[in-house]
Amino acid sequence: TVRLLLAFGAAVNQRCYRGCTALHEAARRDNAELCETLLQARAAIDARNADDVTPAIEAARHGRRETLAYLIRNGTERCV
Residue 34's CATH number: 1.25.40.20
79 Cβ neighbours under 8 A, 6+ residues apart: none
The domain total for the chain is 1
Confidence class for position 77, pLDDT limits 50, 70, 90:
confident
Quote the CA–CA distance of 41 and 6 in Å, as a whole number: 8
pTM as predicted: 0.92
- Name the helix (H) or strand (E) containing 61: helix 55-61
- pLDDT above 70 for 64: yes
- pLDDT above 60 for 70: yes
- pLDDT above 60 for 80: no
In-domain check, residue 78: no
pLDDT in tens, 24-42: 999 999 999 999 999 999 9
7 versus 80: which is more confidently predicted? Answer: 7
